[in-house]
Amino acid sequence: MRVVSGIQPTGQPHLGNYLGAIRNYVKLQDDAVAAGGECLIFLADLHALSMPHDPKELYASTLELVATLVACGVDPNKAVLFNQAQVPAHSELQWLLNGTARMGWLNRMTQFKDKSGKNREGASIALFTYPVLQAADVLLYQATHVPVGEDQKQHLELARDIAQKFNKDFASEDAPVFTLPEPIIPPEAARIMSLRDGNAKMSKSDPSDMSRINLADDADEIMKKVKKAKTDPEPLPSEAKGLEGRAEAQNLVGIYAALADESMDQVLATFGGEGFGKFKPALGELLVETLAPIGERFRELKDDRESLDAILARGAAKARELGGPTLTATYDALGLVRGK
């Protein structure tokens, strides 16, 4: 079992990152250790180049995100925690895979369409080829399980297509170079939506801070954001199917369910017939209960620069070791000679 996943170090990590991905990093790191496998979690700093970014802030926000991940339960003694920039094999493998990835495949990526918007011609090449780097990120380590939110599913399908075509073109059936990775998407928190618009994803890049719960928000901020979250005037139904067409209500009930480890039907068995005046304070309290210890631990860790640097250096050394054999096998399969 090889668990591999990444998270970008730009913007504030939020509840969507936590419920959609980070919680599963923690669970799968334990499963991997129990199965005698490995879990690699990395800060995708190379991906940050795909959008405008401030070089002066990049490493500081990378270290902050390391502190956040550790505060959430990613354990550097169980998982290999590192940043891509310290493992050049990610960029190298991307180039080697560029010969296999097809223009048509990348043209279909919805995230490129969303992020480039009306300015496709002005978008960076990195934004377009970003999914090939993401494929390299997981294929380099022969990932079997990739915990992600639903928005990354299409990128993982591309990684599988690239692996399959490369294996077919350059390897024999009984000795493939790459393993096909499986996305692990939590059904109850696949896509946490904005608190201001139930049809938009909760996102680091939303200009409104009221649209998301940041993992570093304090109890007052959390309660205020939940209280102001957009809803509708109807009481809650007693079953999940009654939430159809009520995007905001569905999102809030989904968040409650994910936090309480219950199904939406179970949540509605308790709150069905109630209005949001009763439901919102209960949701706010549950959020504070979950996030307060994370925020506390984050504040203890975030200024210990030496320890955070050391976690990344140790993780990167291990990642370089784990990725080495696949990188060599890829060069070899392509007939590229690196010398002795």
Interface with ligand TYM by CB under 6 A: which residues? Answer: 5-8, 16-17, 20-21, 44, 47, 134, 137-138, 146, 148-149, 151-152, 189, 191-192, 201-202
CB of 120 to ligand TYM, least distance (A): 19
For ligand TYM, the closer of residues 5 and 129 by Cβ is 5
Q: What are phi and psi of 302, to 5 degrees?
A: -65, -25
For ligand TYM, the closer of residues 182 and 234 by Cβ is 182
For ligand TYM, the closer of residues 146 and 301 by Cβ is 146
Q: What is the dihedral of CA 166, 172, 176, 181, to 10 degrees?
A: 60
Strands across the sheet containing 38-43 = 80-83, 38-43, 2-7, 145-147, 182-184
For ligand TYM, the closer of residues 100 and 194 by Cβ is 194
Please enumerate in sequence order all residues whose Cβ is within 8 A of that of 133, keeping only pairs 6 or more positions apart, or say none: 46, 47, 90, 91, 94
CB of 13 to ligand TYM, least distance (A): 8
Catalytic residue among 78, 115, 153, 230: 115
- 280 catalytically annotated: no
Task: Report the C-alpha gap between 86 and 132 in whole angstroms.
Answer: 18
Given a contact cutoff of 8 angstroms between Cβ atoms, the answer to whether 315 and 80 are in contact is yes
For ligand TYM, the closer of residues 166 and 237 by Cβ is 166
3 in helix, strand or coil?
strand
- 224 catalytically annotated: no
CB of 85 to ligand TYM, least distance (A): 13
CB of 174 to ligand TYM, least distance (A): 27
Residue among 137, 129, 175 nearest 156 (CA): 137
Task: Report the C-alpha gap between 145 and 131 in whole angstroms.
Answer: 17
- 201 catalytically annotated: yes
Report which secondary-structure segment, H or E, holds 146. strand 145-147
Catalytic residue among 27, 165, 204, 230: 204
Task: Report the C-alpha gap between 336 and 340 in whole angstroms.
Answer: 12
DSSP-assigned beta bridge partners for residue 172: 175
CB of 12 to ligand TYM, least distance (A): 11
Give the residue numbers marked as catalytic: 115, 201, 204
